[in-house]
Structure 1
Amino acid sequence: MPDYSSPLLCLLDERGYIHQLSDAAGLDALATAQIVPGYIGFDATAPSLHVGSLVQIMLLRRLQQSGHKPIVLMGGGTSKVGDPSFKDEARKLLGAETITANIASIRRIFERFLTFAPEGKEGGQTDAVMVDNAEWLDKLEYLPFLRDIGRHFSVNRMLGFDSVRLRLDREQSLSFLEFNYMILQGYDFLELSRRFGCRLQMGGSDQWGNIVNGVDLGRRVDGTDLYAVTTPLITNADGSKMGKTVSGAVWLHEDQLPHYDYWQFWRNTDDRDVGRWLRLFTDLPLDEIARLEMLEGAEINQAKIVLANEATAMCRGEQAARDAAETARRTFEEGAAGDRLPMLATAAPIGIVDALVGLGFCASKGEARRLIAGGGARIAGDKVGEDAIITPGDPPVRVSAGKKLHGLVALPPG
């Protein structure tokens, strides 16, 4: 492991956040000597962020836990353009009112993870701040921007970044509007450096090209040493994208995803991911995480419940976590009405159509198919299609028909 001296890089390294560093020694020395303001940018394209953004939110939390200052940069300006990074097509352009409403909604999420100054009071050195890049981007004059900033960007180099090259290789349209996004993101870093003394930009590994553009711009224009940290691509043990489910995105706001479904997402974690998720998405001590990830067999489910409780409490509140855990206990152990749930025992994978019939929820396969077509069938809380397959295991798999009928598909006893 790298020999870091600053609490910041030690914490990020031991919990698995570091993928790339622009100047590890320089940042380590700076973070040892002074409070470092650091930022991450977030789109304002929806009223809520989803679990795919959670590792970046936690990265800002770790920054503050290490005694530094988190800056949440909302893309009120860049959301009018759209980040082309690893997108197959241009994003829908949003109006100013929609973007403003989205930012206000998203702020509530960050207030659960970070400490901001009390409203109306001057913040301390490590209190988080939220900034909207529309404050400076909306005021830019085109010709002065091209002359003062654009001349520092090489088109040859920009064409080599994966986010651009992949679109071009696929012969997919990349508008001039989107092509400018990386210049605007680089300029954001320069502005935050000037306004807040920001010295660090963090983000996902897909943002590396955009981030180092900002590092280079700060050096060229102001002679300031800026730094970059990126996190690894967060995927499940099976290689799938973390946070993607059959029923869609796992939203952080409760008005877009119920507490129970959020809790259940974490409870359904693959055995192989439990330790990693505990380090990334909870504040549990590392020695406790080491103990939990060593559990095997049915006992690993206790670690998953701890993960679900901790992650839900952080995002939704402790009461939400307790309520979701109790709902799960009643659903799986007692049944929603106080009786044990019907159970279908099978030693082999079974299709959802046969499961619905076998549990007695549908009188025929035709009825089961109609239920599925209407969106009424769920496996472990996720809506499924007719081709869904259930693999029985420990714990049993919950199958639902509508809102009131729930059953379990389980391995046969003995």
Structure 2
Amino acid sequence: MTTAPGSGIIDELRWRGVLAQSTDEDALRAALDAGPVTFYVGFDPTAPSLHMGNLVQLVTARRLQDAGHIPLILVGGSTGLVGDPRMSGERVLNDPEVVAGWVARIADQVKPFVSFEGPNAARLVNNLDWTAPMSAIEFLRDVGKHFRVGRMLAKEAVSARMNSEEGISFTEFSYQILQGMDYLELYRRHGCTLQTGGSDQWGNITSGVDLIHRVEGVSVHALSTQLITKPDGTKFGKTESGTVWLSPEMTSPYAFYQFWLAAEDAAVDWYLRVFTQRTQEELAALAEETAARPQARAAQRLLAQDVTTLVHGATTTARVEAASAALFGQGDLATLDAETLGSALAELPTARVSPGEPLIVPRLLAEAGVVPSASSGRRAVVEGGAYVNNERWADADAPVPVEQLLHGRWLVLRRGKRTLAAVDVA
């Protein structure tokens, strides 16, 4: 729900643990209070989907819009062709046709997070619109002349690459000029006076602030958000392992839900403040509930539900929750649709079986890695600890009837209460 400017959005972002840096906080606070402020946040199409690291920016854009401000969501058709310098080395440049396809995908992906209607309606913009018509001479004369190489070299990623064996190409070195030009163009075209982004983008963001001051003689604002890191301290991004994508084709909604359900106790309160709309009062009550019954993991369950609903919708979240419950014997596996069940089982150790092959449970348990050997699987059956589709399996030698295959393809194996595996007959 949109509120009037002056509703304390800076204090809101600070309480939520989102705010990392800003140019002049007093001036920014005054501008936001006086509002509405037109702001922008950019996403480069260097992959076919946004990921968890981008979700902070999308949620922050929604909060700013709810506070009465006007979002410009930039998808970088030109900057995506170049790539922001990485600490680890030069990027592989993607073909323009590939990048154009990713621009379209990401543009569709960001649309549900902000409103494109009303007095502070969001607008999608693409920086290829103003870079493509510009000649190299115009770029150097009109934009490049305002940048000082010494300051550009001081940027953290640039400095690291300059001191590496590989070095840095002029292409990636120029990225910060392109991003600075984006801010200038959006200031001129739409009156944009605030850029937001992750704290790892601070050098690029302030390049735009400096450029506008040099060219237009006005002061504009910048705000960066805290990076959301994994337990090992690395950020959620495209180049590190374990990426959690927003696209359901690249990270299934079930896997997405399970990621948040598995959040560490030490991080869950912060995640709830950053990614959900829950109020201070709601989270205080949840903290009391969690302290009283920590084994119930109420905070993680609420986090998984809220964030999965935010990204994939309430209907998909309900299906995922039903699948999660059914896999552990708290629901009917037969009621799950094939897509949801298949996505859930894809996250489990799996025994792959050819059609017509006898489905002998001790062997399947071993092939799926639930037990070390078929003899151990036989022992699990005899001792009453083996389940097929949530039913205790009692005969170690009898094959599972093909009629019990879920959707004609899958079995769910369980040993004891928590050890799960799948059988895929295909």
2:134 paired residue number:
140
Deviation at 1:253, TM superposition (A): 1.4
TM-superposition CA deviations, 1:106-165 (whole Å, max 9, x none): 122212211113xxxxxx441111100000011112223212221211111111110101
- Whether the aligned pair in 2 keeps the contact of 1:187 and 1:214 (CA below 8 Å) is yes
Deviates more, 1:91-100 or 1:265-274: 91-100
- Whether the aligned pair in 2 keeps the contact of 1:190 and 1:218 (CA below 8 Å) is yes
Give the aligned residue type for 2:365. Answer: F
- Whether the aligned pair in 1 keeps the contact of 2:35 and 2:68 (CA below 8 Å) is no
Q: C-alpha distance in 2, partners of 1:334/1:163?
A: 50
Matches within 5 A, 1:7-86: 7-84=8-85, 86=86
Q: C-alpha distance in 1, partners of 2:240/2:417?
A: 21
TM-superposition CA deviations, 1:10-43 (whole Å, max 9, x none): 2211111111011101111111112111111101
1:407 is matched with which residue: 370, 393, 414? 414
Give unpaired runs (5+ residues) of structure 2. 335-348, 350-360, 374-408, 420-426
2:319 paired residue number:
323
Deviation at 1:333, TM superposition (A): 3.4
**Is residue 155 of structure 2 the alignment partner of residue 180 of structure 1?**
no
- Whether the aligned pair in 2 keeps the contact of 1:292 and 1:300 (CA below 8 Å) is no
Give unpaired runs (5+ residues) of structure 1. 118-123, 339-351, 370-401
**Is residue 208 of structure 2 the alignment partner of residue 214 of structure 1?**
yes
Give the aligned residue type for 1:279. Answer: R
Deviation at 1:410, TM superposition (A): 7.1
**SS of structure 2 residue aligned to 1:407:** strand
Structure 1 length-normalised TM: 0.78
Deviation at 1:5, TM superposition (A): 6.4
Deviation at 1:239, TM superposition (A): 2.9
**Is residue 103 of structure 2 the alignment partner of residue 103 of structure 1?**
yes
Q: Supply the RMSD in Å over aligned alpha carbons.
A: 3.1
Deviation at 1:237, TM superposition (A): 4.9
Q: C-alpha distance in 2, partners of 1:268/1:155?
A: 45
Give the aligned residue type for 1:407. Answer: R
Give the aligned residue type for 1:318. Answer: A
1:362 paired residue number:
366
**Is residue 102 of structure 2 the alignment partner of residue 88 of structure 1?**
no
2:381 paired residue number:
none
- Whether the aligned pair in 2 keeps the contact of 1:6 and 1:29 (CA below 8 Å) is no
Matches within 5 A, 1:265-344: 265-294=259-288, 295-296=290-291, 298-299=294-295, 301-334=297-330, 337=333
In structure 2, relative to structure 1, the CA distance for the partners of 1:60 and 1:336 (3 Å cut) is same
Q: C-alpha distance in 2, partners of 1:174/1:83?
A: 11
Q: C-alpha distance in 2, partners of 1:267/1:364?
A: 24
In structure 2, relative to structure 1, the CA distance for the partners of 1:91 and 1:152 (3 Å cut) is same
**SS of structure 2 residue aligned to 1:151:** helix
Give the aligned residue type for 2:115. Answer: T
**SS of structure 1 residue aligned to 2:195:** strand
Matches within 5 A, 1:89-238: 89-117=89-117, 124-237=118-231
* Count of residue pairs the alignment pairs up: 354
Deviation at 1:174, TM superposition (A): 0.8
Q: C-alpha distance in 1, partners of 2:166/2:313?
A: 43
2:355 paired residue number:
none
Rg larger for? 2
Give identity over the alignment, percent. Answer: 39
- Whether the aligned pair in 2 keeps the contact of 1:73 and 1:130 (CA below 8 Å) is yes
- Whether the aligned pair in 2 keeps the contact of 1:205 and 1:230 (CA below 8 Å) is yes
Deviation at 1:266, TM superposition (A): 0.9
